[in-house]
Amino acid sequence: MKLTLYTDYSLRVLLYLASAPEEKRLVQIKDIAQSYGISKNHLMKVTFHLGKLGYVETIRGRNGGLKLAVLPEEINIGKLVRQTEEDFHMVECFHEHSSCILSPDCKLKGVLYQALQAFLSVLDQYTLKDLIINKEQLASLLFTEKEPVRRDPI
């Protein structure tokens, strides 16, 4: 099972916000992007969606920023993954109109479906709070000043 970058970025944004020290109560998208070395534009889409889902609160204005809208223990990882993944069609036969000639009698579809359910079941057992039990270590990695990443011109 491979998660999309969208889900990966969603998880990273939530980890960043949950790991923020008290003095950085509101964080900027540009800081998240710089910390992870990823596109600010992608993160804007992700944070907008996380806001619509009720996970992130956006404060507008000069001193604005982002913060968690709910406590980390209220954010279930399995639920978040289900909300951010477009589909879980691991193989072609998961689609309604499968063209695979084996579909009527193939047992692989059932096995892969069970594997997917097991994958999601494990994620359902964890909350964001479980992922930040080492909050101080995460904060030291995320909130230290770094040299800007230099990219060679193309």
pLDDT digits (tens, 9 = 90+) for 1-39: 789 999 999 999 999 999 998 777 799 999 999 999 999
* 3-class DSSP assignment, residue 58: strand
Token pair recorded at residue 4: 């999309």
Q: Mapping DSSP to helix (H, G, I), strand (E, B) and coil, where does residue 127 land?
A: strand
Cβ pair 143, 20 in contact under 8 A: yes
| pLDDT tens-digit map of 105-128 | 888 888 988 999 999 999 999 999
Domain 5-142 falls under CATH 3.30.350.10 = no
Q: What is the dihedral of CA 60, 64, 70, 71, to 10 degrees?
A: 180
Whether the CB-CB separation of 66 and 30 falls below 8 Å is answered with: no
Q: CA separation (Å) from 38 to 15, 29, 35, 121, 132? A: 15, 11, 8, 29, 21
Distance from C-alpha of 46 to C-alpha of 12, rounded to nearest angstrom: 10
Q: Higher-confidence residue: 133 or 62? A: 133
Q: What percent of the chain has pLDDT over 90?
A: 64
3-state SS assignment for residue 42:
helix
Instruction: From 77, 80, 102, 98, select the one nearest 89 (Cα to Cα).
Output: 98
Name the region of 146 (left: φ>0; alpha: ψ -120 to 50; beta: rest). Answer: beta
pLDDT averaged over every residue in the chain? 88
